[in-house]
Structure 1
């Protein structure tokens, strides 16, 4: 990587690494593609001069998208949490991720069209779950457990006993 961060999450794609990186850079604020690397030789998943890797950041976190070929799908065992500031940001990111073949899961989780798992977490949810009043935190947790995409107003209402 150009400005070697010391660590980066590497995501495996079957020929769609550049598409995925462009999508992420356009979807998340403070995100960008930092480098596109082409293969110098033919390799099992492609030919010389094909895009091999795309380096990008999402909100300052380094990623590498690798065109590694078929046979290694993403799973829910690894996911990325995106913390949002309000319902509008939560809704916008959620809609972008589930569009074109993505899927809603549960409790703030969804998958994008490439199968990468995301948690879209409003800061109000983390605040509610950390409420010093155990009953308020429990009510917020119970409300969240019944949701797919997080509804901040419903979380706040539950937290406040409503």
Structure 2
């Protein structure tokens, strides 16, 4: 069996702008690059463009193959951030040029793809065995669009 770097590769279907999307994403995330762009002719969707790219070393494949499918919120990509500056950076860039802010750290980018931009420390907070702390942090993040780490921390600690 072949030795693949990424055994599971997310595949993204775009109507006609897979290359533009890959360029957008690789401009935002470090350790990112477009690996290849291939044009396929005479397919059921007429002409198809296949783009393979990496974000943080995770391989993705995107195709421009017509408007048969749309993205839905049932699938999203989570970006875990260590600092508020990181949250602000990804939030600003992913919502740029027509992206949409949603609740609880979720957003849609200009291509309609859903993302969650979350603080890494939230994993630890959500593992708490203190039901009151869990309730406080839940009530805090339900009121937010973009997460505010300091506000989440205050809610968790009961301040």
- TM (norm. structure 2) is 0.90
2:152 aligns with one of 120, 131, 155 = 155
SS for the counterpart of 2:132 is helix
* Mapping for residues 73-152 of structure 1, pairs under 5 Å: 73-152=70-149
Taking only aligned residues, the RMSD between alpha carbons, in angstroms, comes to 1.6
Which runs of 4 or more aligned residues in structure 1 lie more than 6 Å from their structure 2 counterparts after TM superposition? Answer: none
Q: Spell out, residue by residue over 1:14-39, the C-alpha distance to the aligned partner (whole angstroms, 9 max, x if none).
A: 11101101111111122221221122
**Helix, strand or coil for the counterpart of 1:125?**
helix
Residue 31 (structure 1) aligned with residue 29 (structure 2): no
After TM superposition, give the deviation of residue 43 of structure 1 in Å: 3.3
Cα distance in 1 for partners of 2:11, 2:112 equals 14
Structure 1 gap ranges (5+): none
Residue 5 of structure 2 corresponds to residue 8 of structure 1: no
Contact 1:16 1:67 in 2 (8 A): yes
TM-fit CA distance, 1:45: 4.1
Q: Distance in 2 between matches of 1:77 and 1:120?
A: 16
Structure 2 gaps of 5+ residues are none
Deviation at 1:114, TM superposition (A): 0.6
2: CA distance between counterparts of 1:89 and 1:139?
24
Cα pair 1:102 1:115 within 8 Å, conserved: yes
Aligned to 1:144, the other structure's residue is in SS state: helix
